[in-house]
């Protein structure tokens, strides 16, 4: 490719955990490969809708601190979703950007994504797509198994990101949305619920748990009242799913997230409902959460409502 | 053959085949796994077979628990449905640099290291499941006198290729990962191949593994 035809970003600062993500890869649990994919699916979906991209187009996901990017090429638009602080640096000066709003980028302009605010994940993309390789139908980077583009590693300084299929007929769009947060995480009781003492079952739903720093794309470790196991601290290893809450031998809950190990041997006390997953992963270390018990039927309905709400937001983009 | 189907959260069926761990129950799990995989049902997002459970994850936009449960309950699998089995030979070097826990195993089992290794290599092992990390096979069964618990404090990093034992099982660490199994050696063979997307796993559930011992020179030769 001749360099004057190239449209690309150069990474001036990579950020803490910056990767490509899409909807992830299915049907590989049996060989030990988790879904991966964007942690917060609603913000992923909103971003691709804002940019009029295909629903499964790759985006750049970042955690806490995002990348600082310098752009080279013809005019493009970019957009950021999530609760994010960022600056756009151009010849005209420096402006603060707003999430869920598209901005023009010219050759030599920079986007400096300082941080996510009171949340963990943010997303960046353009009116087009990134030149990425696909592994089992997905470009999601799983750093633990080193699967995905960039040899399965997170972004590093000086990396160059190629842009392809730029949509030239794109016009700026935006959405007025402040995001949504929750403190109560709704769960369905797990398959090993009766492994725990009555008083621990009560504590699990009555007291609050703090999210610790030992949290990443694989899992979220919590701290709070010890959950007492009265049967066996281990079960015969079996499959895990996204959102399942295991209790370790030490009595602490650990919630499995999108890059989780596919098999585990700790008893499962509960599983976070699908409707609350996007908002769970956005909770920062130090936050306190409470679990609330719901029925399977309610969880199914709540998920439909959550999806309707997302579709409603998409219809408000103008 | 499925004893009971429960829900695991709101987007997965938890199919229970029994509480024991043996090859008969596990073979049933694997038969169901391959059968359902072949049906290629729309909206199934993952199948996770393990010793005695099969977890079926699904897209909530397409299925609800009750409707999918009914579908799975109505599946009939013929008893004479034979499992496809491969015999796979895997080289292992037990040089001191690789046999990280041989001293511990000697003490716990009260056997000399040469006897331990002789017993370990004298048997073929059945693959119950793969997972935890990509491609990691869970194999069994070890002879009674070879069984011991995992390390009291797991290692933060177990080297890639390590071959470990615990209880009735052995495994191969396909990636560097935390782990608490007793490490007896290391294989130079790549067990999980990211570049082979149609069949990345060298070992699949239902396969039989024969480990054979190699010297450090042979190890380095294969590694090269």
Residues A159, A305: one domain? no
Phi, psi of B175 (to 5 degrees): -140, 160
Which of B10, B52, B133 faces A32 most closely, judged by CB atoms? B133
Q: Does the CB of A268 have a partner CB in chain B at under 8 Å?
A: yes
Which of B10, B48, B174 faces A274 most closely, judged by CB atoms? B10
pTM: 0.94
Distance CA A52, CA A128 (A): 9
- Is A197 a member of any domain? yes
Distance CA A87, CA A97 (A): 6
Residues A63, A191: one domain? no
Nearest to A238 by CA among B99, B1, B33, B71: B33
Reading the block at residue B121, the tokens are 């290599």
What is the model's pLDDT at position A65?
98
Residue A3's pLDDT band, with cuts at 50, 70 and 90, is low
What digits encode the pLDDT tens for the residues B12-44?
999 999 999 999 999 999 999 999 999 999 999
Mutate to test the interface with B, among A28, A30, A271 (most CBs of B within 10 A): A30
Domain ranges of chain B: 4-73, 87-223
- Is A173 a member of any domain? no
Q: Which domain holds residue A232?
A: 184-315
What digits encode the pLDDT tens for the residues A56-114?
999 999 999 999 999 999 999 999 999 999 999 999 999 999 999 999 999 999 999 99
Report, as an integer, the average pLDDT of A293-311. Answer: 97
Residues A206, A89: one domain? no
Does the ipTM exceed 0.90?
yes
Mutate to test the interface with A, among B35, B58, B134, B181 (most CBs of A within 10 A): B134
**Which residues sit opposite B166 in a β-bridge?**
B169
- Could you name the CATH architecture of B87-223? Beta Barrel (2.40)
- Is A178 a member of any domain? no
What is the model's pLDDT at position A201?
98
Residues A17, A157: one domain? yes
Which of A26, A241, A262 faces B131 most closely, judged by CB atoms? A262
Reading the block at residue A179, the tokens are 């995001």
- Could you name the CATH architecture of B4-73? 2-Layer Sandwich (3.30)
- Is A170 a member of any domain? no
Residues A251, A300: one domain? yes
* A258 neighbourhood in chain B, CB within 8 Å: none
Report, as an integer, the average pLDDT of A207-224. Answer: 96
Residues A7, A153: one domain? yes
Q: Does the CB of A28 have a partner CB in chain B at under 8 Å?
A: yes
Residues A23, A65: one domain? yes
- The CATH number assigned to the domain holding A253 equals 2.40.100.10
Residues A190, A154: one domain? no
């Amino acid at each position: 490719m001749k360099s004057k035809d190239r449209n690309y970003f150069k990474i001036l600062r990579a950020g803490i955990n910056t990767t490509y993500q899409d909807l992830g890869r299915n049907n590989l649990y049996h060989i030990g490969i988790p879904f991966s994919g964007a942690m917060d699916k609603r913000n992923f979906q909103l971003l691709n809708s804002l940019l009029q991209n295909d629903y499964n187009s790759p985006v750049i996901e970042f955690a806490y601190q995002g990348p600082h990017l310098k752009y080279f090429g013809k005019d493009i638009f970019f957009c950021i979703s999530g609760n994010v602080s960022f600056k756009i640096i151009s010849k005209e000066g420096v402006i603060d950007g707003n999430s869920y709003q598209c901005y023009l980028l010219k050759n030599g302009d920079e986007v400096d994504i300082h941080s996510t605010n009171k949340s963990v994940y943010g997303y960046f993309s353009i009116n087009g797509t990134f030149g990425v390789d696909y592994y089992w139908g997905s470009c999601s980077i799983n750093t633990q198994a080193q699967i995905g583009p960039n040899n399965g590693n997170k972004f590093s300084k000086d990396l160059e990101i190629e842009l392809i299929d730029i949509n030239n007929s794109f016009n700026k769009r935006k959405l007025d949305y402040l995001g949504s947060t929750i403190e109560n995480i709704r769960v369905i009781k797990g398959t090993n619920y009766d492994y725990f003492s009555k008083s621990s079952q009560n504590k699990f739903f009555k007291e609050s748990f703090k999210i610790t720093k030992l949290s990443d794309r694989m899992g979220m470790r919590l701290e709070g009242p010890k959950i007492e196991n009265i049967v066996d601290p281990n079960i015969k290893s079996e499959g895990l799913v996204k959102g399942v809450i295991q209790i370790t031998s030490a009595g602490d809950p650990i919630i499995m997230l999108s890059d989780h190990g596919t098999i585990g041997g700790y008893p499962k006390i509960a599983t976070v409902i699908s409707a609350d997953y996007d908002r769970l992963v956005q909770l920062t270390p130090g936050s306190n959460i409470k679990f609330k018990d719901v029925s399977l039927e309610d969880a199914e309905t709540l998920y439909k409502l959550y999806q309707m709400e997302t579709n409603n937001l998409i219809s408000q983009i103008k | 053959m499925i004893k009971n189907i429960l829900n695991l959260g709101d987007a997965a069926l938890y199919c229970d085949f029994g509480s024991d761990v043996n090859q008969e129950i596990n073979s049933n799990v694997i038969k169901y796994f391959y059968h359902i995989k072949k049906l290629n049902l729309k909206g199934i997002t993952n199948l996770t077979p393990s010793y005695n459970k099969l977890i079926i994850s699904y897209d909530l936009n397409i299925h609800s628990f009750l409707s999918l449960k009914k579908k799975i309950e109505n599946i009939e699998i013929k008893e004479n449905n034979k499992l496809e089995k491969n015999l796979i030979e895997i080289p292992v070097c037990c040089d001191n640099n690789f046999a990280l826990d041989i001293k511990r195993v000697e003490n716990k089992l009260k056997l000399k290291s040469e006897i331990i290794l002789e017993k370990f290599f004298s048997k073929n092992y059945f693959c119950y499941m793969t997972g935890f990390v990509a491609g990691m096979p869970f194999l069994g069964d070890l002879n009674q006198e070879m069984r011991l618990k995992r390390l009291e404090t797991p290692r933060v990093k177990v080297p890639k290729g390590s071959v470990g034992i615990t209880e009735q099982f052995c495994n191969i660490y396909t990636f560097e990962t935390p782990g608490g199994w007793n490490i007896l050696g290391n294989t130079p063979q790549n067990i999980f191949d990211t570049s082979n997307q149609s069949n990345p796993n060298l070992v699949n559930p239902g396969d039989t593994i024969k480990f054979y011992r190699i010297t450090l020179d042979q190890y380095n030769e294969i590694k090269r």
